[in-house]
Amino acid sequence: ETANGDLIEELMELTAQSLSTLEIAEHFNIIKEIGRGKYGRVLLVTHRCRGTPMALKVMPKASTKLQGFLREYCISLHLAHHPCIVGLFGIAFQSQEHYGFAQELVIGQDLFAVIRPRVGIPEPAAKRCAQQIASALEFIHGRGLVHRDVKPENILLLDRHCRRVKLADFGLAQRRGAMIRLISGTLPYMAPELCAVQAEGAPPLLVEPTLDTWAFGVVLFCILTGYFPWERCTPTDDFYQEFAEWRQAGEGEGAPEDVPSQWQRFSPPALAMFRGLLALDPEERSPAGEVIFYLLAGAVLLE
């Protein structure tokens, strides 16, 4: 893992030394904007020489630190050959006002766009999606890295039925063991230990794969139900508190009716899967890859 972290640092240094300066319109035909966020924009372009269609991620220098840009690009490049992670072209550059890099163009929607409110997506599609994202997360974690922003908006679908999906956006990714004081991420997917860092005077948190595992558990709940299990993992959130009390009661204790109302639709293997992914103690959390055994154990939702 340390070797992978050192490799990222070396890649960042090399990229900084060889970062070409170019104006976007001179090298790419801009067709349209396909994404926008706090980071900047994603443009659908074709390469003027090669004619290749690409997704160009461009970030304003005014709001982007060079180190942050280099880290995102180099982590993305380091992971891009996994089939369930968005690919890269190895083109990174700066223009007068932007940093940018070229990604594989994924034509299709993100997972969030196909989740029906209060319904979710069909169970077979949810299982296919879960297996592919579990594979991507195992790969990322095996290289000593943590995605830190696992959510449906960052899971791209090559088709509506989730036969092929890809994890995207490594803008918050970090080496395992990095220290965080300022919290980034989307509230419902943030693990309890991450929510606790927001409290005044709380010690900084070390980045661990278990942050992704928790977020992955919340994503699976969302795609199977069409709603969030809670707003945030804090004592003031009643839905979270109800879950936390049930989770702490221990495996196999209590009757089925003690399962919190939000979770009663799930089969016993599915509940066991969620208990693993959403263990309150990060050290007890299952690795993402273990979901595959539960998904093969039969139906996730009760009839």
List residues with catalytic annotation. Answer: 149
The residue written with tokens 């924009």 in the block is 41
- Rg over alpha carbons for the chain, rounded to the nearest Å, is 20
Is 32 annotated as belonging to a binding site?
no
Taking a C-beta distance cutoff of 8 angstroms, is the pair 150, 132 a contact?
Answer: no
Q: CA dihedral in degrees (81, 85, 89, 93; nearest 10)?
A: -130
At CA 217, angle to CA 174 and CA 280, rounded to 5? 85
Q: Which amino acid is at 127?
A: K
Report the first-to-last Cα separation within the chain, whole angstroms. Answer: 43
Distances (CA, A) of 109 to 75, 113, 157: 24, 6, 6
Cα–Cα distance measured from residue 141 to residue 82, given in angstroms and rounded to the nearest whole number: 13
Cα–Cα distance measured from residue 84 to residue 162, given in angstroms and rounded to the nearest whole number: 11
Q: CA dihedral in degrees (138, 144, 148, 151; nearest 10)?
A: -20
Phi, psi of 161 (to 5 degrees): -95, 10
Q: Where is the binding site, in residues? A: 57
Q: Where is the binding site for ATP, in residues? A: 57
